[in-house]
A and B are shown apart, each in its own frame.
Chain A
C-alpha cells in the first residue's frame, strides 16, 4: 500500500496543518511517512506545495516522481493545476474552488474551473462556503482534507484520530469544529464522486 499526495496552495493558507493531520493519521496506522515542506521565501504569498508520501514499506525519495502522485489536494483552484505533471494517470484532483487572488494577472475563475473539469477524476468544492456554514471559515483546509479522505488507504477513523491529536492542544471546541469540517468534506465527495 502506498499513497503519494501533492498538497498545494498559497503561502499562508495552511497546507502544513493538512500535512500534519495526515501525518498523525499515518503514524496512528504505523505507516512510513515522508513529507517535504516548503519553508522560507515562498511562504510570503507565493505558490507552495508539500510532497507527502505514505507507505507500508520504507520510502526512498522525499520527492514524488512526475506522473507518480495518487492525489493532488489543493486549497486553491489555480494552484491545483500547477502540479498536473505530477498526477498519475487515473489519479484524483481534489480542489477548493475559492480563488486566492494576490497577483494582477490572475486568470478568469470560470476558465480555471473548466480546466479542472477536464480532469477525468476530479472533486471540486467550495470549501470556504461549506466551512462558514458551520461558522468556521478557518477550517476550510480541513474540509478539503475530508474531501480527499476517500482516496487514501487509511480509515476515516484514523483521520479523526489525527484531528484529535493535531488540534488537541487548542481545546475541545477547535477539535469538534475540525471533526465537523472533516466530515463535511467527506460527505461532499461521497455524494459527488
Chain B
C-alpha cells in the first residue's frame, strides 16, 4: 500500500486513523504531542468528522475517550508518562468497566528525562490495570499496533495500553500503511450496567477481569509482536522489549547472533516462550528500555533457577535510556572509542526565549520579594520553570502540574509569609483551579501569579483552554476582584509591575496577578492572532 515517512508518534496516529477511530483525546506533553497534532492536521480526519481538539488535562481526555467507547466507537487517548498519573483514576477503573468500542491509551515514556520530571515506566500501569499492552520495536510496528490494537481491545472488551519511549516517538522512518477501516456505528453497551462501578457490580466485573487473565496471556503467546528466534549458543538467552531489540541487532549487523532471542512487543509477557528460554538457556539477559519490569518478573519465575541479568545486577545501567554501546557492553563486545569531547565545550541548557514575557515577570517578582527573602516561590511546569536557572534563580519548586498553588497553600498554612505561586495559563486550567478553590475557601494568604502567554508554550504552542477566561474563572471560584491584577510584562512597565506585586504580597488573603503578553514563538500563528483580536486581548 502507501509508504509514508513518519515519526513514531505520527505512525501511531496514522494507524489509529486507518484503524477506524472516531476521536482522539489528549493533553500535550513531550514526547506524545505529535500524535494528536498529526490527527489535527489530517484532511481525512476533518472530512470524516474525527474529534481531535485538545482536552483540558489527561484525566478529562481519558474520560472522554471512555465515553466515546461507551457509545460504541473507537477512540484513542494520548499523554506523556506523567500524564497517566493524572489520568490514573479513570484509567485503572476503565479496566473494571471494560470498553464497548475499542479504546487505546497511548502513554509516551521519557527515559533519561529529556523533557520530564522523572522516567517512570508506564508498563507498571498496564500490569496494575491487568490489561493487554503493546510496545513497538519500530515505526512500522507502532503503526500496526495502533491499527490492530482496536481488534485486541474489542476482542477482550478492555482498553489496551500502547507504550512508546522518546526515541521511537521522535524518530522518523518509512511506514507501509494498511487498508482503511470504517468507523464503528454508535451502539450501546450490551449490558447497561457495565459502566456502573457500584461495589456489587465492580466486584463481579473484577472477577471477570481476573478470570480473563489466562486468555490475555495466551493472546500474547500467539501474538505476531512476540517473536522467538532460536540460536545454537544456549549459554545465554536474550529477552528484549520494544526498541531495545534494535540496539541488540545493531551490534550484529556484520556478525551472526547465535543466542536465542525473545523479542517482546505484547504483554502480559508470553509465559510459554519465557519458560522455553529459562529451561534451555544457562543464563538470561533482559534488555528493556525503562524500568527493569520484565527482569523483576522473571526473578519470580524461579522454578527454572536460571540466573537473570540486566539492569538490576549492573550488567546494564539501572537508569536512563539504552543505546547500542550500552548493549554492546552488556554482551561483552568491544567498542572502539576514539574521539572525546574537548574540554572547552560548554553545556548549553535550554533557556527562556529572548523577549519572553515570563522574564519580565520574574525580574519584577525578584525585586518585589526582596523584603521577604528568598525561597518562597512555588512554581509549576512550563517554560517559566526555566526561571529556576541562573540568572533568575526566581523559583523554588516544580513537582507536578498544579502543585504550585497547593504547595504554596501548605507553606502558608505552615506560617510562611510572602508565599507566591507561579503557574502558566495552560497549567492553570489543567489543574490549578481546584487548588485555588482550596485557597479561597480558607482565605489563605498566597499570591498566585498566572503568567499568561495565551498558549501551551513548552510543548510547542498548542491551544490554551484558559484563553480569555482566566479572570472569570478566578472571580467565579471566589477570588476578590480587587485582588485580581493584570499587567503587561514589559521592561518599561517595571515600576508598575513591582508596585502591584508588593501590594498583593502584603495582602493577607488570596491574590491573583496576571502578567499577560503573547508568547514570542506564536507570533506567526494566524488562528491565535484572530482569536486574540476577537477576545480584545491584542
A interface residues (Cβ-Cβ under 8 A, vs B): 10-11, 19, 23, 27, 32-47, 51, 59-68, 78-79, 81-82, 84-89, 102-103, 105-107, 111-112, 115
Contact B459 A40 (CB under 8 A): yes
Q: What are 19 contact pairs spanning A and B, CB under 8 A? A: A10-B348, A36-B170, A40-B114, A40-B459, A42-B115, A42-B350, A44-B383, A47-B348, A60-B246, A60-B249, A61-B247, A61-B323, A65-B324, A66-B337, A67-B336, A78-B344, A78-B348, A85-B337, A103-B347
Q: How far is the CA of A45 from the CA of B336 in the complex (A)?
A: 32
Which of A36, A38, A62, A102 is the one whose CB lies under 8 Å from B351? Answer: A102
**In the complex, B346 has a CB within 8 A of chain A:** yes
Which of A78, A85, A86 is the one whose CB lies under 8 Å from B346? Answer: A78
- Also in contact, A60 and B253, with CB within 8 A (given A37-B171, A39-B170): yes
B interface residues (Cβ-Cβ under 8 A, vs A): 5, 7, 30-31, 33-34, 114-115, 167-168, 170-174, 243, 246-251, 253, 323-325, 328, 335-342, 344-353, 383, 386, 458-460
Which of B114, B171, B250 is the one whose CB lies under 8 Å from A41? Answer: B114
Contact A39 B246 (CB under 8 A): no
Complex interface: chain B residues within 8 A of A84 (CB): 339-342
Complex interface: chain A residues within 8 A of B352 (CB): 44
Contact B170 A65 (CB under 8 A): no
What are the nearest 4 A-B pairs in CB distance? A40-B115, A40-B30, A84-B339, A46-B350
Chain B at the A interface: SS class: loop
- Chain A CB count within 10 A is highest, among B33, B34, B174, B247, for B174
Q: Which residue of B lies closest to A89 (CB)?
A: B338
Instruction: Give the distance to chain A from B4, nearest Cβ to Cβ, in Å.
Output: 10
Q: How far is the CA of A46 from the CA of B39 in the complex (A)?
A: 28
Instruction: Give the distance to chain B from A5, nearest Cβ to Cβ, in Å.
Output: 13
Contact B31 A65 (CB under 8 A): no
Contact A39 B460 (CB under 8 A): yes
Contact B168 A102 (CB under 8 A): no
Complex interface: chain A residues within 8 A of B353 (CB): 44-45
Complex interface: chain B residues within 8 A of A87 (CB): 338-339
Contact A27 B5 (CB under 8 A): yes
Complex interface: chain B residues within 8 A of A44 (CB): 350-353, 383, 386, 458
Q: How many Cβ-Cβ contacts under 8 Å join chain A to chain B?
A: 151
- Also in contact, A107 and B337, with CB within 8 A (given A38-B170, A41-B458): no
Complex interface: chain B residues within 8 A of A82 (CB): 341, 345
Contact B350 A65 (CB under 8 A): no
Complex interface: chain B residues within 8 A of A46 (CB): 348-351
Known: A35-B172, A61-B250, A106-B346. 4 other contacts (CB 8 A): A39-B33, A60-B246, A62-B167, A66-B337
Contact A33 B170 (CB under 8 A): no
Q: How far is the CA of A69 from the CA of B248 in the complex (A)?
A: 18
- Chain B CB count within 10 A is highest, among A61, A67, A68, A87, for A61
Q: How far is the CA of A71 from the CA of B14 in the complex (A)?
A: 32
Complex interface: chain A residues within 8 A of B243 (CB): 62
Complex interface: chain A residues within 8 A of B458 (CB): 40-41, 44
Which of B247, B253, B336 is the one whose CB lies under 8 Å from A63? Answer: B247
Complex interface: chain B residues within 8 A of A81 (CB): 341-342, 344-345
Q: Which residue of B lies closest to A116 (CB)?
A: B342
Instruction: Give the distance to chain A from B209, nearest Cβ to Cβ, in Å.
Output: 36
Complex interface: chain B residues within 8 A of A78 (CB): 344-346, 348
Complex interface: chain A residues within 8 A of B336 (CB): 67, 89
Contact A45 B338 (CB under 8 A): no
- Also in contact, A61 and B173, with CB within 8 A (given A81-B345, A85-B341): no
Instruction: Give the distance to chain B from A71, nearest Cβ to Cβ, in Å.
Output: 14
Contact B351 A45 (CB under 8 A): yes
Which of A38, A66, A112, A115 is the one whose CB lies under 8 Å from B325? Answer: A66
Contact A39 B30 (CB under 8 A): yes
Contact A63 B341 (CB under 8 A): no
Instruction: Give the distance to chain A from B456, nearest Cβ to Cβ, in Å.
Output: 13
